[in-house]
Amino acid sequence: MITSVLVANRGEIACRIFRTCRDLGIRTVAVHSDADAGALHTRVADTAVRLPGAAPAETYLRGDLIVKAAVAAGADAVHPGYGFLSENADFARAVLDAGLAWIGPPPEAIEAMASKTRAKELMGLASLTDVTEADLPVLVKAAAGGGGRGMRVVRLLDELGDALESARAEAASAFGDGEVFVEPYLEGGRHVEVQILADTHGTVWALGTRDCSLQRRHQKVIEEAPAPGLSDALQEELRTLAVRAARAVDYAGAGTVEFLVEGERAHFLEMNTRLQVEHPVTEAVFGVDLVALQIAVAEGGALDAEPPAPRGHAVEARLYAEDPARGWAPQTGTLHRLDVPDTIRLDTGLTGGDEIGVHYDPMLAKAVAHAPTRAEAVRKLAGALERARIHGPVTNRDLLVRSLRHEEFTSGRMNTGFYDRHLAALTTPEPDPWAPLAAALADAHGRSRFGGWRNLSSQPQTKRYALGDEEVEAAYRHTRDGLAADGVRVVHADAALVVLEVDGVQRRFEVARHGDRVHVNNTALTVLPRFPDPAAQRAPGSLLAPMPGTVVKVAEGLAVGSPVEAGEPIVWLEAMKMQHRISAPVTGTLTALHAKPGQQVEVGMLLAVVQEA
């Protein structure tokens, strides 16, 4: 039996695997980069081993170092989690060659399916070779790995070359393999997958379907089980194809077979030979612990002849530190608070006070709700996320809540183009109009009305805040009876709680301030100085780094004096394992270019200036 497991991963998935190991009485070993020295997964493990460096290529993608760490820590098994080396056959072999148990499929099965090009050949399918106008749109896709990295949609033939180049670079950085291929892109399809679990005795379970159609940059955002609205015949076809794929490679362990579904047609996409991020929705519906079953299979255990019967519906939302309204730009900084109601399941690798860095995926947590019906599960998850208190960098929480309540989603009519159609409406700011006043009253709490000489003590005091892209002002007064404001009755005000009565209705506002950032319930404001610093002003047309990262490319042939068009890419930044294009905000002339390939930049650093024509 397995007694000690090293998880060759980090963050949320490492914490999730450790939780099951503790339940089973198995000791746990974490590995960590220097950037993760104080991360939650290192704090909850029984033992932690350092991997020197910060970038994935020198830490979590170094299979040799991880095997050495397992041996040194006395582990007798390795679980790869997802991402990184989870679908690397050579790593699986190295683990087995070291005399350790591998909690995953056989290396031969990984090899057969890990490359999407080889998987298609195994399933009797082929990729596009010579792309023509008639083939558009197409999808450029990394042969190794997943998670939306190394993927580009191409709608114009002359954009194919750049898409291939950038996809190769991103895939090589994320997976150590720059191979890409091209396949048709079906914009009206749904992303549906089947969870499989197989033992070494010939039993293969197909644990229902999942719908993962709501995606950004080809990375899933909201997932659910079972996939809604599929006919019985189509569900049976998907399960049959998934089991066939598993048997074709003598599969063992947990895996997922993914399809693009249009009407009653199912198109094979790939087989992921690992645990998926969205596995909790299947666990909730079938009442199983997939990690515990993975361990049992690795120990040689046999599955029951038939899987458990499904029960109810489950929905998962991925909470990211990112700004959907600004090209999904990842955010960094301190996560001061992550407080989600305990009515739902929360899988996370972070707690309040942890830092969100630039080296890894910006996912904060996965929130999962389970209920007897789909409508109840969706309502439960949306309500819990709305009541969550998340203080720190910008997140996609509001987008998740609005997506879950959007009519196209609640009716089950969504597809992979959901955010292409609705992102602008879903990210239109809807700040609480009373949030600035609540913030100002909380800040003013405890200050004497005699503090600070003025001619008229009844004159209003003002506070200025940035609320999204707008500047707002809140006015209040110190009176004999306490704090007051026009048009509202101040029922209570202290540094953490403000209660206002508006038109006879009392409203409560939780207030927390972290530096110049103020969180009022779910509205975040930035305190503005009374007198703006002229040195902080930037020239119109300035291109500022939206995140910390590395400049990987500057547009070819571009120099000061070059004409540029609005939307034309100027600089490419790499951050959090993704490449981000920084484009010209206006049509005009490039008057300054400060970015250079290989340069490390911080948030707000000036990269270039375009003077509008």
pLDDT surpassing 90 at residue 122:
no
For the residues of 182-247, what is the DSSP string, one character each? EEE--TT-EEEEEEEEE-TTS-EEEEEEEEEEEEETTEEEEEEESPTT--HHHHHHHHHHHHHHHH
Residue 450 has pLDDT above 50, yes or no: no
Continuous segment of H or E residues that includes residue 292:
helix 290-298
What contacts 517, CB < 8 A, 6 or more positions away? 391, 524, 525, 526, 527
Give the model confidence (pLDDT) of 539-551 as tens digits: 778 888 877 788 9
CA separation for the pair 20, 77 (Å, rounded): 14
Q: Nearest-CA neighbor of 248 among 64, 122, 373?
A: 122
pLDDT tens digits for range 496-539: 999 999 999 999 999 999 999 999 999 999 999 876 555 455 67
In this structure, what DSSP letter does residue 326 have? G
> What's at 87, amino acid-wise?
E
Tokens of 215: 């995606």
Report the C-alpha gap between 248 and 235 in whole angstroms. Answer: 20
Over 70: is that where the pLDDT of 454 sits? no
Q: Work out the average pLDDT over 464-471.
A: 88
Say yes or no to pLDDT of 117 above 90: no
pLDDT score for 149:
79
Report the C-alpha gap between 174 and 578 in whole angstroms.
Answer: 8
User: What is the longest distance spanned by two Cα atoms in the chain?
Assistant: 88
Looking at residue 125, its pLDDT comes to: 65
**pLDDT recorded at residue 548:** 79
**Ramachandran bin of 42, using left for φ above 0, alpha for ψ from -120 to 50, beta for the remaining angles:** alpha
449 catalytic residue (yes or no): no
Q: What is the mean pLDDT of residues 356-374?
A: 95
Catalytic residue chosen out of the listed positions 149, 274, 318, 402: 274
HSE-CB at 384 with a 13 A cutoff on CA atoms is: 24
User: How high is the pLDDT of residue 449?
Assistant: 47
Selection from 55-59, 129-133, 374-378, 568-572 with the highest mean pLDDT: 374-378
What's the whole-number mean pLDDT along residues 192-211?
A: 98
Q: Name the nearest CA neighbour of 70 among 101, 26, 107, 36.
A: 101
pLDDT band at 127 (very low <50, low <70, confident <90, very high): low
- pLDDT tens-digit series, residues 19-70: 999 999 999 999 999 999 999 999 999 999 999 999 999 999 999 999 999 9
pLDDT surpasses 90 at 114 = no
Q: Using CA atoms, how far apart are residues 569 and 38, in angstroms rounded to an integer?
A: 37
pLDDT value of residue 451: 44
pLDDT at 452 over 60: no
Task: Grade residue 554 by pLDDT with cuts at 50, 70 and 90.
Answer: very high
Give percent above pLDDT 90 in the chain.
72
Domains in the chain (CATH in brackets) are 4-103 (3.40.50.20), 124-184 (3.30.1490.20), 199-426 (3.30.470.20), 435-527 (3.30.700), 538-612 (2.40.50.100)
Which two structure tokens, joined as six digits, stand for 541?
């047309």
Mean pLDDT of 211-238: 96
Tell me: the pLDDT tens digits for 278-288? 999 999 999 99
